[in-house]
Amino acid sequence: MAIDVNEVYTKVLSILNKESRGFLTPGEFNNIGSQVQLELLDKAFYDYNRAVVRESLGRTGEGYADIPKKIQDKIDPFYATESVSLTSGVGTLPTFYNIINISADSKLTQLERIDKSKLSFLLSSPLTAPSSTFPIYYVTGSTVTVNPTTISSIDIDYISVPADPKWNFDTDSTTGAFTYNATGAVNFTLHPSEEVELVIGILKYAGVVIKDPSVLQMATREEQNNINLENQ
């Protein structure tokens, strides 16, 4: 479940070349594609968190029930689970965009995330001290610290950082033309439903790279048309 990088690049070039509005090199496309992919992940995760909060507060309206599922579909390609071993309560986290949940005992016990500054206060009283029943954790960079330290391993549910897309190519020695090479290519991690927004986002940046304001205007117009269709 991904978006084919060659298909996206082909669409972008087709739109740019339609009215001779410039050319985007593979290197420029790869760099812009990485940026737009992260922006779409940011938006999907923001929308998902907002939907979860609204749902928990009972503020869902008519037709809202389908929204979390649509947003969840966009988050799912980045969702990952990994077990981490701990030494004296300390372990190394996988590279993550956001942590969803940390648990222990085969996911039977949920850990509560705290600010590191609150640990001393919690440990100061038997009433608030972490236990095997109510464990806590805090994150510092790529390190997770768990208390009580008797917990030897944890399971982490998280949103992973997507791999950078790559339109891999061979260069014709005579003409200098670029030919797609699927070997070594990296597709977009995004859900297929994001393809239109992905193309539009790349076109917006392309207008800046090739210094043609009309490309940005065209992409903005397409984005508005897409929003209007979704709202119908």
Residue-wise pLDDT for 14-44, tens only, equals 888 775 667 899 999 999 999 999 999 999 9
pLDDT given at position 126: 87
Q: Is 21 helix (H, G, I), strand (E, B) or coil?
A: coil
CB atoms within 10 A of CB 177: 10
- Rounded Cα distance between 169 and 157, Å, is 35
pTM given for the model:
0.81
Residue-wise pLDDT for 161-184, tens only, equals 999 999 999 999 999 899 999 999
Tokens describing residue 197: 């927004």
CB atoms within 10 A of CB 76: 12
Contacts of 37 (CB under 8 A, 6+ apart): 162, 165, 188, 189, 190, 198
Q: Where are the domains of the chain?
A: 5-73+164-231, 78-160
- Rounded Cα distance between 83 and 7, Å, is 35
**111 pLDDT exceeds 90?**
yes
pLDDT given at position 64: 40
Task: Kindly provide the b/e burial profile for residues 54-73, where b requires at least 16 CB atoms within 10 angstroms of the residue's own CB.
Answer: eeeeeeeeeeeeebbeebee
Q: For the CA atoms of 191, 194, 196, 200, what is the dihedral angle to 10 degrees?
A: -130
**223 pLDDT exceeds 70?**
no
Rounded to the nearest 10 degrees, the angle between the axes of helix 5-18 and helix 26-56 is 110
Q: How confident is the model at residue 65 (pLDDT cuts 50, 70, 90)?
A: very low
Range of weakest confidence among 65-79, 99-113, 121-135: 65-79
Q: Is 6 helix (H, G, I), strand (E, B) or coil?
A: helix
- Rounded Cα distance between 63 and 115, Å, is 37
**59 pLDDT exceeds 60?**
no
